[in-house]
Every structure is written in C-alpha cells, then in structure tokens.
Amino acid sequence: MSLEAKLADFLKSGKDWERKPTSVPGVFVLRMPPFKGSPARLAVELNPADEAGRPTRKRGVLLRSSIELAEYKKLMGDERLTSLLKSIDSLSPKPVKKEEREPEIIEI
C-alpha cells in the first residue's frame, strides 16, 4: 500500500484527533476533525518522542501544509531566535529533576 493510500485510509477511517506515529521519531500524522464547514483533514505534528516513540508533550507543533513547513524552517534558521532562547534560558529557573530513588534491595 502506498503512502498516499495509507494517508487516504487514515483520513477516511481515523477518529477525530487520532495521532499515528511515522517511521521518523517525533513526527506524527494527526487527523483533524471537520470545522466550520471544512472537511476533516490531516496534519503533521512535530513532537519530540521518548525512547518508546511516544510524544513527550501533550501537543506539538502542527503543520498543515508544505508552505507552513517552509515558513517554520525560515523562522528556525534565524540566529536571533537562538539568541532570544539563550537569553530566556539564562533568566528562567532550571527545571527540577525528580530524584529517582533506587529501589531498596535486600541483600541476602
């Protein structure tokens, strides 16, 4: 089955807001429900994945077209964005990592 056929089948038979993983870690196909007269459609969600391939955020960045992808690439390539985020990193409190306790082991 071709990629287009798989996507068409998912668009037709998928549930609203259903997310399907792809072979690229962190890239998911999302079925968006009909909205204000427009039919259901597919979008790509970029969402970093954990070791098991599950998304790490509730919602990632949604891309509805290749034009949007080009716009995001242009934004991501701007050095001022990197500079801004480095400044934010230096001012923001560091995330507190939960200390993982080692399980108590009874040595025999």
Q: How far apart are CA 61 and CA 82, in angstroms?
A: 18
- Name the more confident of 51 and 77: 77
pLDDT, tens digit (0-9, with 9 covering 90-100), for 48-62: 988 888 888 889 999
- CB-CB contact of 3 with 10 (8 Å): no
pTM for this prediction: 0.75
- Among the ranges given (36-45, 51-60, 77-86), the one the predictor scored with the smallest mean pLDDT: 51-60
Q: Is the pLDDT of residue 107 over 70?
A: no
pLDDT, tens digit (0-9, with 9 covering 90-100), for 30-40: 999 999 988 99
pLDDT at 102: 65
Give the Cα-Cα-Cα angle 34, 39, 44 (nearest 5 degrees).
80
